[in-house]
Structure formats: structure tokens, C-alpha cells
């Protein structure tokens, strides 16, 4: 036998690798065999075909003659949008509830406890359908829209926000305005002679605002026409229900992470902050939370990944995200089951890996530097 342990481990690893490859090959062979048996063909050529169906909500332009590849992009953007909104909301709400949970106030503490226990212990799908059927669908019909300030209308079909329409030559001005706003913090720290420009840099965004208002042709207010409101931008209730559902669900777990992380900070830190004469909120935000953040980040990553994966439940409430469009409509129209599901799985894996890479990078940045 091989005596030297290092060589034994080396051989062991190669054997394992060979086993994995053989298993993968067997699997691929089985799929190919099944395909042949069923007179089906494997291939991704269908991605170039015209889709010819309508996608109800899209961030970038879409028409019926675009390809299946573009449906992939559009539904993926919808998934990212809902995941991003839900992650931000969940973090804020989770932080708030987590801090409430540690409040000296009996009522605040117990309200937070009830919220966490209730939300954590009911299925996510039930909550999403509750938000959709129980909350969003109690809004009034388009004819009886709730009017909010600024020409914003709210009804069962969604939230309608006025659109700013640029004049024909307005786009250059608009870019200049954007550039002026972006340059402000840089100009702020510049020096003329020995003096900093400082607050005088604020002149730039004011000019930007002027340019921006000069570039506007008119504002397109939503108004009732025919069956629906036309004009303005519509935020569909499906998006709201799905992001709220995902956010509340995750916030309960995040609240517990926040609480646990705060409690993990040694008591000495509280006492030291107290001794410095810091007030309650200062102690929390300047001393405790920055240290608790280090403990939180790795656990938050998995919550964020859960939100991203959970977005696929949008299929239940007609939100056109990746899972619903690609493994629903596209799968049915093309009959390419293995291909569509492989694509959706690959996209989710890539997206999740990117998200966790980002979180790991952030984690390394905030981690204690040990020498």
C-alpha cells in the first residue's frame, strides 16, 4: 500500500475526482439516452427564435418579435429588481425590529417579539399571497383612484407616477446636469490656493437643477383613458406585493441576527460608551452597531441569498420574473424542458455566487484586521 500520508491523500483526491467525472458523465449519458428514446433533441438554438408573446412588466423595451434570449434578460432584470428592493427593505426593517427587540420599553420589545414569531412561523408563499390578495386587491378600481400629492395615482392596477418627458435636444443638457451633480463631492475637496472650495461646490447641483428643468419638455400625468390609466409610469401591485412579502419574511430572520449580534458585544463596550458620556442612540450607532456588523455580515449573506431564491414565488402572483417567464411560458412554447431549467438554474447560481462574493468582499473589509 501507499505508505506516505501525503501521497495517499493525493491519490484519494484523484480517485474522488474520477468518481465525480464518471458520475457526471453517467448522468449526461442518461439524459441523452432519454432524449433519444423520446425523439427529442437537446440544444440551445431556440434562444434565437422569436418569442411572440407579451411580457406584462419590463424594464427595458420589449416587443413581440424579440427573441427568447431577450425574454431571459427581461425576466432576469425583473428578478434583480424585486430582489434588490426586498433586500434593502428587509435590511432596514430587520435592523429596526432587531433593535426594538432589545428595547427597555416593554411594549416595543414585545411587539417586536410577536412580529418576529408570527412572520417567521408562517410560510413565505402564504404571506406573499396575503400581500397580493389581502392588501393590494383591496385598493379601489382605476375610476376611483386615490390621488396622492404630485399627480401620483394609486389604485388596484398599481401606483402611477408622472413621467418626465425630455425635449428633443434635452438629452445633452440632462447628461450635463447629471455630470454636475456627480462632480460636486470631488469639487468640494478641491483647493484653490490654500483654501478648500467646500460649500461653494453646492453651486454645481443648483446649476444642474437649472439645466434639468430646462431640458424638460412637459410632464406626462397619468389619466384615465378607456380601461386603464395611460401616461406616467406604472408600478405594478405584483412587484409591490412580492417585494413586501419577501422583505417582511426576511426581516424577521434579520431582526434575530441583529439582536444576536448586538448581544454578542461584550458588556464592557456598553459600559465604556456610557463612561464616555454618550447618549443612548450614540452608544448604539457609534459603538455597538459598528462592532455588531462584523458578526452580522456572514449571516446576512445567507438571508440575502434566500430572498433572491424566494423571488421565484412571484410566479404565483403574476409577477413576470425569471422562473415564471422562462420555466413557464418559454418552456411551454418551446418544449425545451431540460434546457430552460438548466438555464434558470445556471442564472440563479451565478447571481447568488456573485451576491455572496460581494458580501464576502464586504465582510473582509469590515472584519477586524488581525496581525
Partner 1 sequence: MHRVMRLTTCCAVVVGMLGFAAGSWAQEVKSPTIDAIKKRGELICGVDTGIPGFAFQDSAGKWQGLDIAYCRAIATAVLGSVDKVKYIGTTAKVRFSVLQSGEIDVLIRDSTLTLTRNTELGLAHGALNFFTGEAFMVKKSLNVAHATELNGATICVLTGTTLELNIADYGRANNIKINTLLFERPEEAFAAAEAGRCDGYTDDGGSVAAARSSMKNPKDWVILPELISREFLGSYTRQGDERWNILVRWVHYAMLEAEVLGITQANVDEIKKSATNPEVRGFLGLEENFGKKLGVDNDWAYRIVKEVGNYGENYEKYFGPLELPRGWNNLYTKGGLQYPLPWR
Which residues of this chain interact with partner 1, rule CB under 8 A?
A: 37-40, 52-54, 56, 64, 129, 132-133, 136-138, 141, 156-157, 225-228, 230, 237-238, 315-318, 320, 324-325, 327-329, 331-337
- Of the pair 84, 315, the CB lying nearest partner 1 is at 315
CB of 68 to partner 1, least distance (A): 13
Torsion over CA: 206, 210, 215, 218 (sign): positive
When the beta carbons of 64 and 346 are compared against partner 1, the nearer one is 64
* Rounded least distance, CB 343 to partner 1, Å: 16
> Nearest distance from residue 110's CB to partner 1, in Å?
34
Does residue 221 contact residue 165 with C-beta atoms inside 8 Å?
no
State the Cα–Cα distance between residues 77 and 10, nearest whole angstrom: 44
Give the residue with the Cβ less far from partner 1, 291 or 333: 333
Q: How far is the CB of 312 from partner 1 (least distance, A)?
A: 11
Q: How far is the CB of 142 from partner 1 (least distance, A)?
A: 8
Q: Which is nearer to partner 1, 280 or 335 (CB)?
A: 335
- Minimum CB distance to partner 1 smaller for 193 or for 226: 226
Q: Is the dihedral of CA 351, 75, 77, 127 positive or negative?
A: negative
8 A C-beta contact, residue 60 and residue 336: no
Q: Considering beta carbons, is residue 225 or 279 the nearer one to partner 1?
A: 225
Torsion of CA 327, 332, 337, 342, to 10 degrees: -30
CA 172 to chain centre: 31
Least Å distance, CB 85 to partner 1, is 20
Residue 359 near residue 300, CB atoms below 8 Å: yes
Per-residue DSSP letter, 189: H
Crossing angle of helices 237-263 and 68-101, in 10° steps, is 40
**Interior/surface letters 313-325, b for 16+ CB within 10 angstroms, e for the rest:** bbbebebbbbbbb
Amino acid at each position: 500500500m501507499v505508505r506516505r500520508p501525503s501521497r495517499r491523500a493525493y491519490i484519494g483526491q484523484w480517485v474522488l475526482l474520477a468518481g465525480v467525472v464518471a458520475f457526471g458523465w453517467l448522468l449526461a449519458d442518461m439524459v441523452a439516452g432519454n432524449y433519444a428514446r423520446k425523439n427529442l433533441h437537446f440544444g440551445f438554438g431556440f434562444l434565437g427564435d422569436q418569442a411572440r408573446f407579451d411580457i406584462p412588466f419590463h424594464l427595458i423595451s420589449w416587443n413581440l418579435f424579440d427573441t427568447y434570449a431577450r425574454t431571459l434578460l427581461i425576466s432576469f432584470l425583473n428578478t434583480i429588481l424585486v430582489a434588490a428592493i426586498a433586500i434593502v427593505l428587509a435590511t432596514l426593517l430587520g435592523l429596526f425590529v432587531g433593535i426594538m427587540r432589545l428595547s427597555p420599553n416593554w411594549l416595543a420589545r414585545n411587539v417586536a417579539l410577536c412580529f418576529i414569531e408570527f412572520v417567521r412561523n408562517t410560510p413565505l408563499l402564504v404571506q406573499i399571497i396575503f400581500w397580493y390578495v389581502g392588501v393590494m386587491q383591496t385598493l379601489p378600481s382605476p375610476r376611483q383612484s386615490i390621488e396622492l400629492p404630485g399627480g401620483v395615482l394609486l389604485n388596484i392596477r398599481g401606483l402611477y407616477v408622472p413621467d418626465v418627458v425630455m425635449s428633443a435636444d434635452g438629452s445633452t443638457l440632462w447628461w450635463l446636469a447629471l455630470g454636475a451633480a456627480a462632480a460636486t463631492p470631488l469639487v468640494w475637496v478641491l483647493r484653490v490656493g490654500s483654501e478648500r472650495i467646500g460649500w461653494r461646490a453646492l453651486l454645481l447641483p443648483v446649476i444642474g437643477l437649472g439645466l434639468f428643468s430646462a431640458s424638460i419638455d412637459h410632464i406626462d400625468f397619468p389619466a384615465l383613458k378607456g380601461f386603464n390609466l395611460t401616461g406616467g409610469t406604472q408600478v405594478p401591485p405584483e412587484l409591490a406585493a412580492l417585494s413586501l412579502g419577501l422583505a417582511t419574511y426576511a426581516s424577521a430572520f434579520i431582526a434575530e441576527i441583529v439582536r444576536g449580534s448586538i448581544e454578542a458585544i461584550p458588556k464592557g463596550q456598553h459600559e465604556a460608551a456610557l463612561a464616555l458620556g454618550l447618549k443612548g442612540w450614540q452608544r448604539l450607532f457609534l459603538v455597538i452597531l459598528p462592532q455588531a456588523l462584523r458578526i452580522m455580515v456572514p449571516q446576512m449573506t445567507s438571508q440575502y441569498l434566500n430572498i433572491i431564491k424566494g423571488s421565484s414565488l412571484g410566479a404565483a402572483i403574476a409577477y413576470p420574473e425569471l422562473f415564471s417567464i422562462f420555466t413557464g411560458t418559454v418552456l411551454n412554447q418551446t418544449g425545451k424542458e431540460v434546457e430552460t431549467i438548466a438555464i434558470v438554474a445556471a442564472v440563479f447560481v451565478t447571481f447568488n455566487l456573485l451576491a455572496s462574493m460581494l458580501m464576502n468582499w464586504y465582510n473582509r473589509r469590515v472584519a477586524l484586521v488581525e496581525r
